[in-house]
């Protein structure tokens, strides 16, 4: 097709959403310490009412951008202008195009990794590994209930629409180091992005997650105080367009600017 595209080629590849077909996801939720959430959230994000963290491992067998890959992610709950969502701390992937798209368009902190995912009957498991360290392992038994049944209704009802779809808001910061060094190209921008999940299958289960310390992927920092439960979904997901909703000063944001880089 060539390095330079025609206008017609550009328009033919323009999409209003990134779509995932028959996507399988295992999402686990746990309660962590409020002081951990407060430490990890950059301004102007605020802490949510409950110190909830979540992680997922997923397999995307078919997409509208011609990529098949696996992905995992780590989020903590956050609030901006009264609207609760998930601040993404990490999102490893197994495909370079998926990595580039998520990082460059929305600011997701993506890195390349080895990711395993498998569903065998009522058991779903997965792990993520980088630089020789398997820093996250997750396993769930699909029992129909959470580890903490009281949390099940709270976590699922808030995001589920009348049509059965699940709407998830992500908060990310979009920024690039300046070529001269020492700062950013522009003030870091807070991006709000919404993903709609349309499950064909949704099941609940009891989960466990194991973190191993890693200098480059410090997921263990988000300590598990109380495991809440797991949700398995299979269905069609759509990542909608994002929107810049705030800017942050470079010095104010600098301590939080290393999610996308391997730095001790």
pLDDT of residue 85: 96
Tell me yes or no: is domain 16-256 CATH 2.40.30.20. Answer: no
pLDDT digits (tens, 9 = 90+) for 127-174: 999 999 999 999 999 999 999 988 887 777 656 666 788 999 999 999
Query: What count of other Cβ atoms lies within 10 Å of the Cβ of residue 177?
Result: 12
pLDDT of residue 151: 86
Q: Are residues 69 and 58 in contact, defined by beta-carbon separation less than 8 angstroms?
A: no
Q: Where are the domains of the chain?
A: 16-256
Q: What is the CA radius of gyration of the chain?
A: 18
CA distance 105 to 88: 14
At residue 67, the 3 state secondary structure works out as coil
pLDDT of residue 162: 67
Q: Are residues 101 and 8 in contact, defined by beta-carbon separation less than 8 angstroms?
A: no
Q: Which residues of the chain have pLDDT under 70?
A: 1, 157-162
CA distance 235 to 31: 27
pLDDT of residue 159: 61
């Amino acid at each position: 097709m060539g390095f330079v595209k025609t206008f017609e080629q550009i328009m033919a590849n323009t999409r209003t959403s990134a779509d995932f077909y028959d996507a399988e996801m295992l999402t686990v939720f746990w309660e962590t310490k409020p002081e951990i959430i407060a430490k990890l959230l950059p301004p102007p994000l605020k802490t949510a009412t409950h110190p909830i963290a979540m992680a997922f491992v997923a397999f995307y067998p078919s997409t509208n951008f011609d990529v098949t890959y696996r992905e995992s992610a780590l989020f903590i709950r956050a609030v901006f202008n009264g609207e609760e969502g998930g601040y993404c701390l990490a999102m490893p992937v197994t495909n370079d195009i998926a990595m580039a798209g998520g990082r460059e368009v929305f600011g997701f902190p993506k890195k390349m990794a080895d990711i395993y995912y498998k569903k065998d009957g009522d058991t779903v498991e997965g792990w993520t590994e980088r630089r020789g360290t398997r820093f996250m392992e997750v396993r769930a038994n699909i029992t129909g209930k959470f580890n903490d049944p009281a949390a099940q209704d709270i976590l699922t009802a808030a995001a589920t629409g009348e049509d059965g779809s699940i709407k998830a808001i992500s908060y990310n910061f979009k920024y690039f180091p300046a070529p001269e060094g020492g700062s950013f190209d522009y003030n870091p921008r807070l991006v709000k992005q919404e993903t709609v999940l349309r499950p064909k299958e949704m099941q609940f289960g009891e989960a466990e997650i194991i973190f191993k310390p890693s200098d480059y992927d410090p997921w263990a920092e988000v300590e598990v105080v109380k495991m809440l439960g797991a949700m398995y979904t299979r269905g069609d997901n759509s990542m909608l367009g994002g929107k810049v909703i705030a800017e942050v000063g470079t010095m104010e944001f600098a301590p939080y600017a290393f999610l996308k880089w391997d730095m001790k």
